[in-house]
Amino acid sequence: MTAAFPALRLRRGRSAPWIRAMLAEHRLHPSDFILPLFVCAGDSCEEPIAALPGVSRWTVDRIGAQAKAAWDLGIPCVALFPNTPGHLRTERAEEALNPDNLICRAVKAVKDACPEIGVLTDVALDPYTAHGHDGLIDQRGCVLNDETSKLLVEQALVQAEAGADIVAPSDMMDGRVGAIRAALESAGKCDTAIMAYAAKYASAFYGPFRDAVGSGGRLKGDKRGYQMDPANGAEAMREVALDLAEGADMVMVKPGLPYLDVLAAVRNRFEVPTFAYQVSGEYAMIEHMAAAGGGERDALILETLLAFKRAGATGVLTYHALDAARLIGG
């Protein structure tokens, strides 16, 4: 039988910093974070992203230094996303299969600058299509599942050959994880891991990201035909189960804070490495709130990241990774 007040006063465990630290159920560490980095064309250039205050696109010759800075702070992995020049965006996303595209060159640059750090690459066609969708479309504008998956397999192989340690299909096509796993094994890339965007919702929080990769203004229609309905939670369990059965090594829930219930349910049911993506809109909310004087920025950063850990996240993709690592280290 649990003791009652006044025999039990829970505030005793909160009375001083040392006892709060000793009794903390969850802790943040720099190794919990993956830092997303945006790559742009050109030389010796940094392009600040207006929709993401404090975040920039970097040219290939500068991306390695950003990865090295992350590694020096204890962050084990970076995730790379390209802003493909407009003239290379086509209906069939041919540039995604170019072994000398922005992402492939960026992977090599990161590995040259910091061989120890892990590199995650996004497997999806939206940074390469003229229409902004994650796959090929037919005359009606409907995204074609099986035809798209064939290209995603080729894209994943190109990225793995460039040196990606983790390929992360974010497209939400059915069956693509199994096809990519089989192709990697056949190509001798058995050590290349797959982090499946298993529960990726059709969210309103992606806007700044689409600006960052240059696909926002191109999007024709929306992505609700293949990304998940925000109303559904049980469906996420089915998506995760399928991706794991097809060979995913890790899974992701995206976005983060609005879907902590899904994150917790996935981790509890499957007990596999489960990541959350604190997406661009979540990041921007914190930055704008702090800039408006509505909250203390450092505290907002750490509290939201701790929420992911409390919900069961193995790790978090976050644009605040550098700031959080410095705060934890300090």
- What positions carry a catalytic annotation? 200, 254
Given a contact cutoff of 8 angstroms between Cβ atoms, the answer to whether 45 and 59 are in contact is yes
Tokens of 217: 């203004």
- The pair of structure tokens assigned to 79 is 């995730």
Q: Output phi, psi for 142, to 5 deg.
A: -85, 135
Instruction: Tell me if 251 sits within 8 A of 275, measured CB to CB.
Output: yes
CA 12 from chain centre, in angstroms, equals 39
**CA 250, CA 243: separation in Å to the nearest integer?**
9
Q: Could you give the CA distance from residue 50 to residue 54 in angstroms, rounded to a whole number?
A: 8
Residue 316 and residue 250 in contact, taking contact as beta carbons nearer than 8 Å: no
Helix orientation angle between 297-311 and 321-329, rounded to the nearest 10 degrees: 100
Q: Which long-range contacts (CB under 8 A, 24 or more apart) does 286-295 make?
A: 286/320, 287/52, 287/53, 287/54, 288/53, 291/53
